[in-house]
Amino acid sequence: MSEKLQKVLARAGQGSRREMETVISAGRVSVDGKVAYLGDRVEGTEQIRLDGHQVKIAAVDEQACRVLVYNKPEGEMCTRKDPEGRPTVFDRLPRIDGSRWVAVGRLDINTSGMLIFTNDGELANRLMHPSHEVEREYAVRVFGEINEAMLQTLRHGVKLEDGMAKFDKITYKGGEGRNHWFHVVLSEGRNREVRRLWESQEVQVSRLIRVRYGDLTMERRLPLGGWVELGLKDVNYYRKLVELPVETQSKVKVDEKRIDNNKSRKIRKNVKKHQQRMAQGAQQTRRKKR
């Protein structure tokens, strides 16, 4: 049976389905030597190339769905390559054979916390799509005077430049003076939406951390810059959430514990090694420029 070209490319880990639609529309994909068009369908036996490079097509039942949770630090870009040479979230991730990691949404450069990656572009696309209303929870520190009228406005809805937006839930977590911590929940991922909602009330966001995606919360023992691969139970939680068939294979041992102190220390060591390699690379680049 034939499938839409963008769906096949997404499953091959080339990006989300939405990203692949853009790539196809730009004329960057060919099928059996001919430029592909949006709406084309393929059987899976064709030779498909993206930017001239052959794409290895995975059958639905061949590729095990994998999911990583990454604790993004501030200062990293949610892009594969940055023209200004800034670090990206993909720099630290493990290599994956025959595919590549796709980010489930983005966090801006000044936002830290839970970022999900998968090798299944269809899963990424559905988790991001507003129709599935997957909850995202953020810890946010705001600076300014806050009153109940403002909070009610944020709960009921604010008109932003790209339409109405609101927080599904706001919970006060304490603070001192004009600095206050809240946990906020919303079910979509528009660009800088949390910051823009608070700014509409003339208060400034000074810290923003994503702590939950769906019902899964990022473990506190996961260090900044560290990642952990989810086991089969959690992978299938996300798949069921967006109405995809369950996965039966996993790279993670069934009886493997979540992050304990020993595992946390190992992750910290790996993060430190990566930072040292990045620093050495930056020094070499500066020397070449002299």
- pLDDT tens digit string along 7-61? 888 877 787 788 899 999 999 999 999 999 999 999 888 999 999 999 887 666 6
Mean pLDDT confidence for 257-286: 71
Q: Distance (Å, rounded) from C-alpha 101 to C-alpha 93?
A: 8
* Residue 62 predicted with pLDDT over 70: no
Please say if 215 is a catalytic residue. Answer: no
Q: What integer pLDDT is reported at residue 11 of this predicted model?
A: 77
* Residue 150 predicted with pLDDT over 90: yes
Mean pLDDT confidence for 249-273: 74
Strands 204-213 and 112-118: parallel
Going along the chain from its start, the domains and CATH numbers come out as 3-54 (3.10.290.10), 67-130+217-289 (3.30.2350.10), 135-213 (3.30.2350.10)
- From 175, 234, 166, 242, select the one nearest 206 (Cα to Cα): 175
* Residue 255 predicted with pLDDT over 60: no
* Residue 99 predicted with pLDDT over 80: no
* Residue 257 predicted with pLDDT over 60: no
Mean pLDDT confidence for 198-204: 93
Q: Distance (Å, rounded) from C-alpha 259 to C-alpha 71?
A: 13
* Residue 120 predicted with pLDDT over 70: yes
Say which of 32, 51, 91, 108 is annotated catalytic.
Answer: 108
pTM, 2 dp: 0.78
pLDDT (tens digit per residue) in 205-235: 999 999 999 999 998 889 999 999 999 999 9
91: its two tokens: 């720099």
Pick from 83-87, 162-166, 206-210: least confident: 83-87
Q: What integer pLDDT is reported at residue 282 of this predicted model?
A: 62
- Higher per-residue pLDDT: 80 or 23: 23
- Higher per-residue pLDDT: 130 or 13: 130
